Amino acid sequence: MNFFVLSLLKAAIVISVLMVSLLYLQWVERKVIAHIQLRMGPYRVGPHGLLQPFADVLKLLTKEGFIPSHVNLFFYLLAPFLAVSLALISIVVIPFGPEIELFGVRTSMQLTDLNIGILFILAVSSLSVYAVTFAGWASNNKYSLLGGLRSAAQMISYELPLALSLAAPLVAAGTLSLREIVLAQQGASLGVLPNWMIFQLPAPQLVGFLVFLIAAFAETNRIPFDLPEAENELVAGFHTEYSSLKFASFFMAEYANMITMTAITTTVFLGGWLPPFPERYGSNWVPAAVFALLGAVAVYYARQAPRPKDRFTLPWVGLALFLVAGIFLIPALHPLLVPPFWFLAKAGSLMFLFIWVRGTLPRFRYDQLMQFAWKFMFPVALANLFATALLVALFPR
Amino acid sequence: MDALLFLIFAAIAVGCGISVVVQRHPITSAISLIGVMGALAVLYLLLGAEFLAAVQVVVYAGAIMVLFIFVIMLLNAGVEAPGGVSWPVRLLGLPLLVVLVGLLSFLIHRSFAGGEEVRFGAFTQGGPRQIGRLLFTDYLLPFEVTSVLILIAILGAVVLARKEID
Residues of B in contact with A176 (CB under 8 A): 51, 128
What are the angstrom distances between the C-alpha of B117 and each of A55, A264, A348, B130?
59, 40, 51, 22
Q: Residue A330: what are its φ and ψ, rounded to 5°?
A: -70, 115
Say if residue B166's pLDDT is above 60.
no
Of A119, A137, A139, which Cα lies nearest the Cα of A129? A137
Contacts of A137 in chain B (CB under 8 A): 27, 73
Kindly state whether residue A297 falls inside one of the protein's structural domains: no
Which domain range does residue B132 map to?
A: 125-166
Which residues have a Cβ under 8 Å from the Cβ of A80 and sit 6 or more positions away? A131, A135, A242, A245, A246, A247, A249, A250, A253
- Mean pLDDT of the region A388-394: 87
A315 lies in a domain?
no
Contact A237, A228 (CB under 8 A): yes
For residue A186, being part of any structural domain is answered with: yes
- Cβ within 8 Å of residue B47, ≥6 positions away: B118, B120, B123, B126
Counting DSSP H helices and E strands in chain A, the numbers are: 15, 4
Mean pLDDT of A287-312: 82
Omega before A202 within 30 of 0, i.e. cis:
yes
**Same domain, yes or no: A116 and A150:** yes
The stretch A219-248 carries a mean pLDDT of 76
Model pLDDT for residues B55-105, shown as the tens digit of each residue: 888 888 888 888 888 888 777 767 777 777 777 777 788 888 899 999 998
Query: Do B129 and B62 fall within a single domain?
Result: no
Of A54, A74, A89, the last residue of a domain is: A54
Interior angle at CA A369, CA A363 and CA A375, nearest 5: 145
Task: Supply the DSSP string of B69-132, one letter for each residue.
Answer: HHHHHHHT--PPP-----HHHHHHHHHHHHHHHHHHHHHHHHHTTTPPPP-TT-----SHHHHH
Same domain, B69 and B131: no
Q: Is residue A285 part of a domain?
A: no
pLDDT score of B24 = 81
Domain count, chain B: 2
User: Whose CA is closest to A248, among A46, A69, A63?
Assistant: A63
Domain match, B133 and B62 both: no
Q: CB contact, 8 Å: A137 with chain B?
A: yes
Across the strands, what pairs with A105?
Answer: A102
A161 part of a folded domain: yes
pLDDT exceeding 90 applies to what percent of chain A? 4
**pLDDT-derived band at B122, boundaries 50, 70, 90:** low
Which one of A30, A54, A78 terminates a domain?
A54
**What pLDDT was estimated at residue B152?**
94
Residues forming a β-bridge with A267:
none
Instruction: Provide the residue range defining the domain that includes A153.
Output: 63-271+363-394
CB distance from A223 to chain B under 8 Å? Answer: no
Q: Round to whole Å and give the CA distance between A367 and A370.
A: 5
DSSP for A254-277?
HHHHHHHHHHHHHHHHS-TT--SS
Which chain A residues are within 8 Å of B67, Cβ to Cβ?
Answer: 156
Three-state SS sequence of A21-47:
HHHHHHHHHHHHHHHHCCCCCCCCCCH
Residues of B with Cβ-Cβ distance to A156 under 8 angstroms: 63, 66-67, 70
- Chain B residues 21-40 with a CB less than 8 Å from chain A: 27, 34
Query: How far does B128 lie from chain A, in Å, by closest CA?
Result: 8
Q: Mean pLDDT throughout A67-90?
A: 84
Taking alpha carbons only, the member of A210, A263, A203 closest to residue A385 is A203
- Considering Cα of A250, then A255, then A257, then A260, what sign does the dihedral take? negative
Tell which phi-psi region holds residue B121, choosing left (phi > 0), alpha (psi between -120 and 50) or beta: left
Put simply, the answer to whether B50 touches A115 (Cβ < 8 Å) is: yes
Decide: helix, strand or coil at residue B60.
helix
Portion of chain A with pLDDT greater than 70, in percent: 97
Backbone φ and ψ for A189, nearest 5 degrees, come out as -105, 150
CA A396 remoteness from chain centre: 32
Nearest 5°: the CA angle A207, A212, A214 is 100
Q: Looking at the structure, do residues A68 and A193 belong to the same domain, yes or no?
A: yes
The string of DSSP codes covering A142-211 is: HHHHHHHHHHHHHHHHHHHHHHHHHHHHHHHHT-S-HHHHHHTT-SEETTTEE--TTT-SSS--HHHHHH
pLDDT score at A230: 67
Are residues A184 and A132 located together in one domain of the fold?
yes
pLDDT at B99: 92
Give the model's pLDDT for residue B11.
92
Q: Report ipTM for this prediction.
A: 0.76
If one counts the domains in chain A, the total is 2
Contact B62/A120, CB-based, under 8 Å?
Answer: no
Q: pLDDT by residue (tens digit) across A319-371?
A: 888 888 888 888 877 777 888 888 889 999 999 998 898 888 888 888 888 88
Please identify, among B54, B79, B104, the residue that sits at the C-terminal boundary of a domain.
B79
Please check whether residues A141 and A36 belong to one and the same domain: no
Percentage of the residues of chain B whose pLDDT score is greater than 90 = 13
pLDDT digits (tens, 9 = 90+) for B6-24: 889 889 999 999 888 888 8
Instruction: Identify the pLDDT of residue B146.
Output: 92
Instruction: Let me know the angle formed at the C-alpha of B126 by B121 and B128, rounded to the nearest 5 degrees.
Output: 145
